[in-house]
Structure 1
Amino acid sequence: MIKGLPGYRYTVNSIKILSEEVVDLIAAGEVIDSVAAVVRELVENAIDAKATRISVSLWPQQWRIEVADNGEGMNLANLKLAALAHSTSKIATARDLLKISSLGFRGEALHSIAQLSDLEILSRPGFSSSPSSGWRVVYNHQGETEMVEAVAIAPGTVVRVSNLFANWSSRRTAGPTATQQLRGAQLLLQQIALCHPQVTWQIHQNDRPWLRFGPAMTTQQMLPEFIRGIRAGDLQYLKMDVDPPESVEECHENLSKSWLEVVIGLPDRASRGRKDWVKIGVNGRMVRSPELEPTILSAFARTCGRDRYPICFVHLHIDPALIDWNRHPSKAEIYLHYLKHWQDQIHLAIDQTLKLNPESLSAGVNPIEKLLRVSEDTASYRTRPTPLESAENPQRIDVPKLKAIGQIHNTYIVAEHPEGLWLVEQHIAHERVIYEQLCRRWQVIPLSTPIILANLSEAQLEQLTRLNLEVDPFGEGLWAIRSAPEILCDRPDCQEALIELSHGGDLQAAQVATACRSAIRNGTPLSLTEMQTLLDQWVTTRSPRTCPHGRPIFLSLEESSLARFFRRSWVIGKSHGL
C-alpha cells in the first residue's frame, strides 16, 4: 500500500496477461453491441479504480464516448498492456475466480472496444511518488500500442472511444437509434449509481451538460432523482447486518462481514404500475435474480393496491467467496451459495422496514426536538437513536405510542401520538389485524349445524374443496357445508360469507375476503377501550400502512404541519401561545 493524497490510499496492481488455463475457465464475455455497453465497461473500470467522481460524455450521432475519472490511474507499463486480450489486474489464477471482489475481471473489455473503434487512454497514477505528468497511449485494432506521448493531466484516467463500429456498419444500421442509445446509457448509469451512491456523476451530451446526480449517503437520497413524483419522505431505508449461514462449509470459513441495504417505497405513498423498480444489487453490481425477485414480491404481498407493484431496491454486501460471478457472460446473473439464507434475510429486512417506527412516520420534527438534536451534535449524550442507529439495529423497533381520544362519524378513530394526530379508518385497520391473524393460523372447524347452499357451479364446488371445506350433496341442486373458517362460524352472515369464498381465488384471496367480512364495520360505535385495543393490535402488524387491498389505513397530521397552518411562532424564552 502506498500513501497518496490526504484521505486516500492507493493500491498499485500490475496488469498481466491471463494464462490459457484461467481464460478457459471464464464464461465468454458479452458482445459490445451498443454505446451503453461501452459506457458500462468503462464506468465499471473507473469504479474498480476507486473513483469518487466520474464524467461521461456522449456523442451518439458521431459514435464517440469519453469517460473521465479521478481514480488510481495507470503508469506507462500498465497502459501498454491495458488493451491486449485477457489483460487484467483483477485476477491472476484460477482460485481468484472463486473470490471476485471487482466489477470487471475478464480482461476483455478494452480489447473488444479497441477492435471495434479508435481507442486512446490518458492516465496518471494518483499516489504522491508518481510523475508530475501522465501518458497518452493510442492503440490499434489489436489492442497493441501504436503511439505514446507525455501529457499534462490530473491524477486519474480518461478513456476516449471514437468511430465506434466504423468497421462493423451492420451494428450502426441495425442497432438502436441515437435516442435509444442515450436512453440505454441513462438507464445503465442510473443502475450503477444506485449501487454506488457515494460517487459524483456528470453526464454530457453533445458537449452540453445533460445529467448530474450524487453524491449521497444512501440510495434513499438517490431514488427521487430517478423516479418521477417520488420524494425522499416516501421511501424508507434500512441497513442490517447479516449473520453467516449456519451450515457454512469448511471451505467457506473465515468469511468477511455481510450486510444488506433495503430501500422501499412506503406502500401507502409510493407504488408502480409495473415491476420495473424491483431491483437487486450484489457487491456493487445490479443483477437479475430469478430466485430473489419472487422473495421481494412475496414480502410485499397484500400491501399494494390491485395491479400495483412495490418500489424496492435490495443491495447485498457479502463475502465474494459466496458468489459465483461466472454464471453469465454479462455478469448480470449470478449464483449465490446458501440461497435460502439470503432469501430469509431479505424477507426479514423488508418486514422490518415496513413496520411503523418514528423515523418513517414524520416528515417534520417539532422545534423542541430540533433544539435537542442541535445540542446532541456538540455533546456526548443522546436522547434517542439516530436514523443510522435505528437502521443498523432493525430488531430495535420503537412502536409509536398511540392514545385513542375519540371517534368521528363512528368510522375514524382519532389517535394522539407524540408528534401529532392520526385519523385511523377502523374497518380497514381491523381488516389488517384479522388478515395477518388468518395468515398465521387459518383454521377450518366443523359447523354445529350444516349450512345449506343452493345452485353452486362446478367451479364454486372446486373452490370450496380447495379451501378444505367439507361439502356434501344434500338433494337436487343443494349442498351441505359442514365446516367453515373458525372466524366465520358464529357470524349470522356465515352463509353469505361462504358464497363469497366460493367465487374463486387462492387461499390468500380467501383470507382477505374473510378478513374484510369479519372486520368492524364503519358506522359501528366503539368505546375508548375498544378503540385503544384496536390501535394496539394494529400498530404491531407486519404491514400496518395499508389494508390487504392496498388502501392507506391512516392519515397523519404532524404537529409541525399544525403549527404552520395556525401560524404559531416558537421563540425561546418567550411565550407565544405555547
Structure 2
Amino acid sequence: MNRIQVLPDYIAHKIAAGEVIERPVSVVKELVENSIDAMATSIEVEIMDGGKEYIRVSDNGTGIYRDDLKLAFLPHATSKIRTVDDLFNITSLGFRGEALASIASVSNLILRSRTTDTLQGYQISFSEDNQAVIEPVGMDKGTTVEVRRLFYNTPARYKFLRQSATERRYIVEFVSRIAVAHPHIAFKLIADGKLAVRTHGQGELKEALANILDHRTVKDLVPIDTKTEWGGISGYLSKPRLTRKSRQGQLIILNGRIIESSLISSAVERAYAGMLASKQYPIFFLILTMDPKIVDVNVHPAKSQVRFQDDSQLYQEISSACREILLESDLTHKLTSVRTTDSVPERSEPQQVNLEFEQYFPWQPLTWSKVDAFLQKEKRMSAPSPSFDYRDEASAVEVQPAVEVELEAAEDNKVAEPKTNIYQIKDQLLNGRIIGQFRQTYILLETTNGLWLLDQHIIHERIIYEQILNREQAAFVQQTIPQTLHFSSAEAGLVSEQLDKLRDLGVELEEFGTNSFLLRGIPQYFAARDIIVDEQLILELVNDLSQQKNWREKAAVTLACRSAVKAGQRLNERQIHALLAQLAETENPFTCPHGRPIIVRIEDKEIERRFGR
C-alpha cells in the first residue's frame, strides 16, 4: 500500500506551473503583466519558433532590487499584496507571486533588472542544480526576461503544444489585445526577426485600434463613453453590419485586465437585439472601470475569469448603455462606389433570426394619431388617413434601373465618429421628398444630403415587429366562418400546449375533434392584409413559442415577416408616406428583425464624383 509523502519542491513547482503556464503565450502574458505592474511605458516582446525556443520581454519599468532577485523566484513571493484584505482590493494585474517561479521551473530563464535609483543592473540565472547565480550587468533602467527551451524538462507538456505558426498567432493576438487595453504603453512584438505588432503609446484607444485593425473594421466602430452607478463604460462598438460568426472579435477590459465574461458579452449582444442576423456576433472593445471591492479576480490561476457582486445590475446597465449608444448613432449603410450594370441582383431570402436576450425592450405603442400628427405637421398629405390599403392600385412614380451600387471601404484608417444621429435620420424620413419605387421593392427618397434607398418589405417588418412586442396581447379579428386546421397527432399535441401563447399573439384556436382545431380569430394586422393562416404558419409559431426564452421575440419575427408588405408590390405615394412615418416612430429604424439594413445612403458628393462634377 502506498504511503502519503510530501513531494520534493522541484516536482511541486512543475505541478504549480501547469496551472499558470499552459503554452508560450502564457509566459508572454505573465511577463507583460509584470511589466505593466512595474509602470513601464514601453514593452518589447521577441519570440522565435512560436515562443517554444525563445521568448524575451523587455521593459523600462521600475525594475527589481538586487536583494529581491532571489525572492522574486520563490513561490507566493510578491510585492503586490500584504494582507488577506488586499485580495479584495486588487489593482495590479499580478498578485499571486507564482509567475516567475512557474516559468523558471519549466524553462531556462535569465532575468536582468536595474532600478531607477541605481547605476548598475544585476542578472540572475540558475545552474543545473537549480542554484541561483547573481552577477552585475550593464543595462538601461527596467527589466528583461529571457526564456529558452520552454517545457524542455516536461516532455509530456511540450508534445501538447501546437505548430509554431499557431503558437505565434496566439502571442500576436494577446499582444494586440493588451496594447488596446493599455494604449498609454508603447508595444512592439518581433516574431522570428519580423515586426508583427507595434503601437506608439500615445494614450488614445483609437490610435491603438488603428494600429492593429484593418481600416474596414475601424471605420465601422461607434464610440461609447458613459458613467454608471458602479463605475464607467468606454470603448467602441461595431455597427450592426460588422459581425463575426463567433465572439472572437470581442475584447473586455476590466480595470486594465483582459477578462472573459459570458455575462458581459451577452449583455452587449442583447443591445443588438433585432439588428443582427442569426448566429452573428458583434465586434466590440469594452473598457470597464469599477471599484475593485465589488469584483473578485481571484477565481482562476490565469486571472481571466472574474466574479461580480451584482450580476443583474451589471448586465442591465451595460446592455442599456450600449443599446442607447447604438440607437443614437447613424447605422444606415453608406454606399460609396457606383458602377453601371445591365442587371439587378436577385434578392436573397431573409435568414432566420435568433434573438438572444431575456426581455424585450419596452417600446412605446404606435398609434395612428401619432402618424397623422406627423403627416399633418409636415403638410405632406392632402388629408390624414387612419390606414392605408395595400390593394390600392393607384399609380406610383417609377425610376428605371440604371446603376448598381456596391459597398466600398473608406480609405482612411481613423475610427469613424457618427455624423448623424437617430433624430436626424427620423427627421429625414418625415421631410424627405419621395421620388417613387424602384422595381416595386425599394423606396427612393431624396434627402438633404443625398439619395436614400429603403426596402419596403423590411420597413414594414420592423414596424410590425415592434408593434407586436409592445402589446401584452395582440388585437384579433373574429372569423365569421371558422377555418378548420388539421395536424398529425404529434403536431396537435404541440399546438395544444401553446394555445395560451398563440392567443396572446392574436391567434385564437379551439380544439375540434381529433387532431383538429377551429381558427376562430386572427391578428388584426393579418386581417388587414388578407394573410392566410394555415397549418404551416401555426407550426412555425409553435416552434417559436416552444423556446424557453424569447418566445415572444421569435414569434414576432415570424409574424412580422409573414404579414409585411412584399417585394414587388406597387405602393402609391400615400402608402409610402404612411410607411415612412411609422418607421420614424420605431425605436430602431436601421435594421429589420433579421439584421438586414433598412436604409442605404448615396451621398451627394459620391453622385457628383461619378459625374465628374
Equivalent residues of 2:219, 2:416 under 8 A apart: no
Counterpart check, 1:116 vs 2:106 = yes
One of 505, 510, 533 as aligned partner of 1:495: 533
Counterpart check, 1:211 vs 2:200 = no
CA distance in 1, matches of 2:122, 2:447: 64
Instruction: Identify the residue that residue 45 of structure 2 maps to in structure 1.
Output: 56
Instruction: Identify the residue that residue 471 of structure 1 maps to in structure 2.
Output: 509
Deviation at 1:425, TM superposition (A): 1.3
Code of the residue aligned with 2:502 in structure 1: it is N
What is the TM-score with the length of structure 1 in the denominator?
0.76
Equivalent residues of 1:124, 1:135 under 8 A apart: yes
Instruction: Assess, with a 3 A threshold, how the Cα gap between structure 1 residues 210 and 311 changes in structure 2: closer, same or farther.
Output: closer
Instruction: Identify the residue that residue 452 of structure 2 maps to in structure 1.
Output: 422
One of 556, 564, 572 as aligned partner of 1:511: 556
Secondary structure (helix, strand or coil) at the match of 1:187 reads helix
Deviation at 1:477, TM superposition (A): 6.0
Gapped regions of structure 1 (runs ≥ 5): 1-26, 245-257, 365-386, 569-578
Code of the residue aligned with 1:184 in structure 2: it is Y
Instruction: Identify the residue that residue 27 of structure 2 maps to in structure 1.
Output: 38
One of 552, 556, 559 as aligned partner of 2:597: 552
Instruction: Identify the residue that residue 481 of structure 1 maps to in structure 2.
Output: 519
One of 173, 180, 196 as aligned partner of 2:159: 173
Code of the residue aligned with 2:491 in structure 1: it is A
Cα deviation code 1:504-544 (max 9, x no counterpart):
32432321121123323344555656545533543564443
Equivalent residues of 1:322, 1:336 under 8 A apart: yes
Equivalent residues of 1:85, 1:111 under 8 A apart: yes
Code of the residue aligned with 2:288 in structure 1: it is L
Counterpart check, 1:453 vs 2:498 = no
Instruction: Assess, with a 3 A threshold, how the Cα gap between structure 1 residues 433 and 464 changes in structure 2: closer, same or farther.
Output: farther
Instruction: Identify the residue that residue 471 of structure 2 maps to in structure 1.
Output: 441
Secondary structure (helix, strand or coil) at the match of 1:431 reads helix
Deviation at 1:56, TM superposition (A): 0.7
CA distance in 1, matches of 2:246, 2:418: 31
Deviation at 1:181, TM superposition (A): 2.0
Deviation at 1:491, TM superposition (A): 4.0
Secondary structure (helix, strand or coil) at the match of 1:161 reads strand
Deviation at 1:144, TM superposition (A): 6.8
CA distance in 1, matches of 2:463, 2:108: 64
Equivalent residues of 1:29, 1:106 under 8 A apart: no
Deviation at 1:192, TM superposition (A): 2.2
Cα deviation code 1:209-230 (max 9, x no counterpart):
2333464766556557666684
One of 301, 309, 321 as aligned partner of 1:337: 309
Instruction: Identify the residue that residue 571 of structure 1 maps to in structure 2.
Output: none
CA distance in 1, matches of 2:292, 2:17: 20
CA distance in 2, matches of 1:317, 1:283: 5
Gapped regions of structure 2 (runs ≥ 5): 1-15, 337-414, 546-550
CA distance in 1, matches of 2:572, 2:142: 69
Instruction: Identify the residue that residue 346 of structure 1 maps to in structure 2.
Output: 318
CA distance in 2, matches of 1:109, 1:262: 30
Instruction: Assess, with a 3 A threshold, how the Cα gap between structure 1 residues 235 and 156 changes in structure 2: closer, same or farther.
Output: same
Cα deviation code 1:159-207 (max 9, x no counterpart):
1122322322332234333223212222222332332234332111233
Moved more, 140-149 or 418-427: 140-149
One of 56, 60, 74 as aligned partner of 1:70: 60
Deviation at 1:45, TM superposition (A): 1.0
What is the TM-score with the length of structure 2 in the denominator?
0.72
Code of the residue aligned with 1:55 in structure 2: it is E
Deviation at 1:233, TM superposition (A): 1.7
CA distance in 1, matches of 2:243, 2:294: 32
Deviation at 1:404, TM superposition (A): 2.6
Query: Which residues in structure 2 correspond to 1:9-408 (within 5 Å)?
Result: 30-60=19-49, 63-126=53-116, 130-139=117-126, 145-153=132-140, 155-213=141-199, 215=201, 222=208, 230-244=216-230, 258-268=231-241, 270-358=242-330, 398-400=423-425, 401-402=427-428, 403-406=431-434, 407-408=436-437
Equivalent residues of 1:204, 1:211 under 8 A apart: yes
CA distance in 1, matches of 2:151, 2:72: 20
CA distance in 2, matches of 1:429, 1:193: 41
Secondary structure (helix, strand or coil) at the match of 2:172 reads helix
Counterpart check, 1:521 vs 2:511 = no
Instruction: Identify the residue that residue 371 of structure 1 maps to in structure 2.
Output: none
Instruction: Assess, with a 3 A threshold, how the Cα gap between structure 1 residues 229 and 81 changes in structure 2: closer, same or farther.
Output: same
Secondary structure (helix, strand or coil) at the match of 1:137 reads strand
Percent identity, please: 31
Aligned residues: 498
Cα deviation code 1:258-277 (max 9, x no counterpart):
11125332223x22223333
Equivalent residues of 2:432, 2:448 under 8 A apart: no
Instruction: Identify the residue that residue 441 of structure 2 maps to in structure 1.
Output: 411
Secondary structure (helix, strand or coil) at the match of 2:44 reads strand
Instruction: Identify the residue that residue 13 of structure 2 maps to in structure 1.
Output: none
Code of the residue aligned with 1:413 in structure 2: it is I
Deviation at 1:446, TM superposition (A): 5.5
Secondary structure (helix, strand or coil) at the match of 2:93 reads coil
Instruction: Assess, with a 3 A threshold, how the Cα gap between structure 1 residues 297 and 527 changes in structure 2: closer, same or farther.
Output: same
Moved more, 549-558 or 306-315: 306-315
Instruction: Assess, with a 3 A threshold, how the Cα gap between structure 1 residues 30 and 173 changes in structure 2: closer, same or farther.
Output: closer
CA distance in 2, matches of 1:528, 1:399: 22
Instruction: Assess, with a 3 A threshold, how the Cα gap between structure 1 residues 201 and 302 changes in structure 2: closer, same or farther.
Output: same
Equivalent residues of 1:233, 1:363 under 8 A apart: no
Secondary structure (helix, strand or coil) at the match of 2:468 reads helix
CA distance in 2, matches of 1:464, 1:51: 66
RMSD of the TM alignment (CA)? 3.4
Instruction: Assess, with a 3 A threshold, how the Cα gap between structure 1 residues 361 and 514 changes in structure 2: closer, same or farther.
Output: closer
Instruction: Assess, with a 3 A threshold, how the Cα gap between structure 1 residues 561 and 304 changes in structure 2: closer, same or farther.
Output: same
Secondary structure (helix, strand or coil) at the match of 2:282 reads coil
Instruction: Assess, with a 3 A threshold, how the Cα gap between structure 1 residues 334 and 360 changes in structure 2: closer, same or farther.
Output: farther
Instruction: Identify the residue that residue 253 of structure 1 maps to in structure 2.
Output: none
Deviation at 1:460, TM superposition (A): 5.9
CA distance in 2, matches of 1:199, 1:336: 28
Instruction: Assess, with a 3 A threshold, how the Cα gap between structure 1 residues 73 and 436 changes in structure 2: closer, same or farther.
Output: farther
